Chain A
Amino acid sequence: MRKILVGMSTCGMSAGAKDTYARLESLLPADSPHELTITGCIGMCFREPLVEIREGSTRTIYGDVDPARAEEIFEKHIQGGQEIPEYIIYKIEDDQPTGGQELNFLAGQQRIVLRNCGLINPESIDDYEARGGYQATRKAIAEMEPTQIIEEMKTSGLRGRGGAGFPTGLKWSFAAGYDGEAKYVVCNADEGDPGAFMDRSVLEGDPHAVLEGMIICARAIGGTHGYIYCRAEYPLAIHRLELAIEAARERGYLGPDIMGSGFSFDISIKQGAGAFVCGEETALFASIEGERGMPRIRPPFPAESGVFGQPTNNNNVETYANVPWIINNGGQAYRAFGTEKSPGTKVFALAGKIAKGGLAEVPMGMTIEEILFGIGGGIKDGREFKAVQMGGPSGGCIPAALKQTPVDFENIPKTGAIMGSGGMVVMDDTTCMVDMARFFLTFTQDESCGKCTFCRIGTLRMLEILERITRGEGQPGDVEALTELGGRIKEASLCGLGQTAPNPVLSTIRYYMDEFKAHIEDHSCPAGNCPALVDFVIDPEKCNGCSACAKNCPVEAISGTLKHPFVIDTEACVQCGKCITSCSFDAIFKTGKKVAAR
């Protein structure tokens, strides 16, 4: 009997996994000895859709499986028992990687959080239990005192994976120290950083691990009820969480008197409604309570007064997913990975101009270069590595020159970026850093809740300056104004959003002053990105002379004869971009380094 697993998380489905699954389902006869099932994300988004054929302890993973390829695999491998080596991206025999085209992608990883992702059917509690699931819960409830659990967490040295890196064991001990009518265990699944999808993959691929982490936390701190605050943009994650909670209740891991211990705990899901600031814990609590998601002043800290004014512990998805492993294997074993001050592993989402975009879990302290080039396969299309953005709108850009920086809570902040939740967006030489700064500020400006004046108005003023610069209308003194505003906003904002909003701008100024200068003084965009500062050119190979661009050009800068390539007069062109968006053949492109000052 062969087990066929199709990777069905959001990324797989958008790449067409549903069609692949449907084709396999239709091919498989009802009385087939083979079993077709789904699994979560193994992290190789760049080769989706993925199909695994499992036979005994041999796992063969095929990549780029469209319905046609699925049919071929069905005939040759599933029915014929014959592998198709040219499609194999990864092969594992007896838990040892033995071959495949993408061997390097997984070989450098250490999977603790993602231990089950891509291995089990996330909608089956049996699959999870077969992999040792809920043993940690049993151990924590039957064999350990709450204080022992907290001690174990302290020993592990696990630090909050949401970005701030606060020691988890310490946080739990605070919450354990307060009494209230109720005590809440909150899981922050409001993964809002653009370019980050670690939590989504964990929730979609291994939801029970998160539930287990929360149950163990509740046992340790005396929690009475749990909330998972998940963003509404993740419907599949919410669906799988609902199934997981229901299954856990049926097996008695959730609900009253869990496993006859007298300890009762249940979890409900709160769907976010689209507000980035709700990733900030006090704003998240306000949102759970049904209010506008605006941050509150701390102290009192959540451990004393959180949701509905009751003692509350709040951790991120990835933090909770680490907990069962730590309870099963011990805090010391966890410390074997990572660095002295940042133990364990971290999941990163690799995106942007990287050859192999996806999810990678690595020990803390690995260098940027090892992650991007060793695992991620380097830069897309063989271009030049310029920078990597970490920490999303709260973080900063780390230039290529610092690629030897170890990725941990000590070294990343020194570069001006932050660890953040784990998004790594890679940029090549065609990315304009001034435009990136503008991009992040557009985001935070839009998402500022409006409570603090400096965040509300200061970010808008910064954005206006940056927009002017990217339009080629920069003025002397702009950079100084940005720096001053940035400093003030950081000082005078209440929550993490405002305190970090200027970071992308400040770190860009720090490393890419020459690009700011080029925009402001020479009115040129060295990366060839900012529309107002580049030339628009028609590729004569692609142009079929339909004249659509000429008709749409507001200044009649495009000319030519029908059915022959058209030409843009760069002197007359006002860089509005209408020609690019009107072309049906993608024949018009921007070309950089417009040297002559206008």
Chain B
Amino acid sequence: MVSTDFSYRLWRHDGTPGELIPLLQSAQEHFGYIPRRAIRYISEVTKTPESKIYGVITFYSQFRLQPMGKNVIRLCTGTACHVANSGMLLDTLQDELGVEVGGTTEDGVFTLFSVACIGCCSLAPVMMVNDDTQGKLTPAATRKIVRKIRRQTLASERQAQATSDAETAPAAD
């Protein structure tokens, strides 16, 4: 969609106040995180100091300055999920993935986040893997889901690798 495209938004920017956060959001959508160069572009176009942009980025939990894993896990730690023992799931995920909240696994397959409430309280405890919501979880079920996705991700990577190796044409970029 062109309207969310980062470069289009930058080009279109006409000095309307209040555009900083939407620009950062489209940068994150475009790059998967907010790289240094995006901050520089935004600074030039909006005439906002980079330091101020950095201040806004670090204030909001949505923005990330590091790239994310291929799959993003968002464990709900809202009230209803907490009452349904989501704390144990957090321990399980941290143990299974070997990362803390906010961290990305070494193989780049997963990034783990905790979120305040996804709003699916009747399915508690809940986690979102990318755009799919998984409900009524137990530690064992959580491990199964994570292992399955890891297998699938690695398999499709291998396949993609094999396909690109098979192609004789020089890789673009």
Residues of A that sit less than 8 Å from B by CB: 10-11, 13-15, 45-46, 48, 191-197, 200, 232-234, 270-276, 287-294, 308, 349, 351-353, 357-358, 389, 392, 423, 425, 427, 431, 436, 439-440, 443, 449, 577-578, 580-586
B79 lies within 8 A of A195 (CB): yes
Which of A196, A234, A274, A351 lies in contact with B122, CB distance below 8 A? A351
User: Within the assembled complex, what's the spacing in Å between the Cα atoms of A276 and B120?
Assistant: 18
The docked-state distance in angstroms from the alpha carbon of A76 to that of B138 is: 36
Given contacts A10-B133, A195-B117, A578-B95, 10 further A-B contacts (CB under 8 A): A48-B122, A192-B117, A194-B116, A195-B80, A197-B121, A289-B18, A291-B56, A292-B59, A294-B59, A439-B79
Measured in the bound complex, the distance between the Cα atoms of B117 and A270 in whole Å is 20
List 13 A–B pairs whose Cβ atoms lie within 8 Å, in order of A's numbering.
A14-B123, A14-B126, A46-B122, A195-B79, A274-B61, A275-B61, A290-B56, A349-B121, A352-B79, A357-B122, A577-B88, A583-B140, A586-B140
Q: How far apart are the CA atoms of A99 and B138 in the complex, in Å?
A: 35
Task: Note all chain B residues with C-beta closer than 8 A to A290.
Answer: 17-21, 56
Contacts of A357 in B (CB 8 A): 80, 121-122
CB-CB under 8 A from B82, the residues of chain A are 194, 436, 439
Is B62 within 8 A of A274, CB to CB?
yes
Task: Name which residue of chain B comes closest to A450, CB basis.
Answer: B59
Q: Once the chains bind, are B79 and A15 in contact (CB under 8 Å)?
A: no
**Bound complex: CA A234 to CA B132 (Å):** 13
User: What are the residues of chain A within 8 A of B55 when measuring CB–CB?
Assistant: 292
> Is A288 a contact of B18 with CB atoms below 8 Å?
yes
Contact of B140 with A585 in the complex, beta carbons under 8 Å: yes
User: How far apart are A244's CB and chain B's nearest CB, in angstroms?
Assistant: 17
CA distance A358 to B22 in the complex (A): 33
A270 to B17, CA, bound (A): 13
Closest 10 CB pairs of A and B: A194-B78, A351-B121, A14-B133, A290-B20, A273-B60, A357-B122, A197-B119, A45-B122, A195-B79, A274-B61
Q: Which residues of B are found within 8 Å of A273, using beta-carbon distances?
A: 21, 24-25, 60-63
Give the docked Cα–Cα distance between A14 and B122 (Å): 10
Q: Establish whether residues A232 and B62, one from each chain, have CB atoms under 8 Å apart when the complex forms.
A: yes
B119 near A581 (CB under 8 angstroms)? no
Query: Which residues of A have CB within 8 Å of B62?
Result: 232, 272-274
On whether the beta carbons of B116 and A276 are closer than 8 Å, the reply is yes
Complex Cα distance, B144 from A204, in Å, reads 32
Contacts of A196 in B (CB 8 A): 117, 119
Give Cα A196 to B88, complex, Å: 22
Q: Which residues of B contact A275 (CB under 8 A)?
A: 59-61
Question: When each residue 95-119 of chain B gets 1 if its CB lies under 8 Å from chain A and 0 otherwise, what string results?
Answer: 1000000000000000000011111
* B83 interface residue (CB < 8 Å to A): yes
Residues of B within 8 A of A436 (CB): 82-83
Complex-state Cα separation, A581 to B140, whole angstroms: 7
Q: Is the Cβ of B120 less than 8 Å from the Cβ of A11?
A: yes
Using known A-B contacts A194-B79, A200-B119, A431-B83, determine if residue A293 contacts B140 with beta carbons closer than 8 Å.
Answer: no
Separation of A195 and B20 alpha carbons in the complex (Å): 30
Which residues of chain B come closer than 8 Å to A425, judged between CB atoms? 79-80, 83, 121
CB closest residue in chain B, given A294? B59
State whether A233 touches B140 (Cβ < 8 A): no
Q: How far is the CB of A376 from chain B (nearest CB, A)?
A: 11
Q: Taking the complex as formed, is B75 at the interface, i.e. its CB lies under 8 A from any CB of chain A? A: no
Candidates A46, A287, A443, A583; contact of B116 at CB < 8 Å: A443
Select from chain B the residue with minimum beta-carbon distance to A194: B78
Q: How far is the CB of B30 from chain A (nearest CB, A)?
A: 15
A14-B133, A425-B79 given; A577·B91 CB < 8 A: yes
Docked complex Cα distance between A349 and B95 (Å): 33
Smallest CB gap from B82: residue in A: A439
Of all chain A residues, which has the CB nearest B25? A271
The residue that A584 contacts in the complex, of B18, B22, B123, B143, with Cβ under 8 A, is B143
Q: Is there contact, CB below 8 Å, between A581 and B139?
A: yes
Instruction: Choose one: A191, A272, A353, A578; the contact of B83 (CB below 8 Å).
Output: A353
User: What residues of chain B lie closer than 8 Å to A389, measured between beta carbons?
Assistant: 79
Q: Which residues of B contact A200 (CB under 8 A)?
A: 119
Q: How far is the CA of A586 from the CA of B21 in the complex (A)?
A: 44
Candidates A46, A392, A585; contact of B79 at CB < 8 Å: A392
Q: How far is the CA of A440 from the CA of B143 in the complex (A)?
A: 27
Select one of B95, B117, B144 contacting A581, CB under 8 A.
Answer: B95
Cross-chain contact B83 with A427 (CB below 8 angstroms): yes
State whether the Cβ of B32 lies closer than 8 Å to any Cβ in chain A. no
Cβ-based interface call for B71 (8 A): no
List A contacts of B25 (CB < 8 A): 232, 271, 273
Q: What are the residues of chain B within 8 A of A293 when measuring CB–CB?
A: 59-60
In the bound complex, do residue B139 and residue A586 qualify as a contact, i.e. CB atoms below 8 Å apart?
A: yes
Expressed in whole angstroms, the minimum distance between the Cβ of A182 and any Cβ of chain B is: 11
Q: Quick check: A358 and B122 within 8 Å, CB to CB?
A: yes
A584 adjacent to B126 (CB under 8 Å): no
A391 to B59 Cα, complex, angstroms: 25
A272 — which chain B residues lie within 8 A by C-beta? 62
Q: Is the CB of B18 within 8 A of A308?
A: yes
Q: B69 interface residue, CB < 8 Å from A? A: no
B20 surroundings in chain A (CB, below 8 A) = 290-291
Contact B95 A582 (CB under 8 A): yes
What separation, in Å, do the CA atoms of A276 and B143 have in the docked complex? 30
Q: How far is the CA of A275 from the CA of B60 in the complex (A)?
A: 6
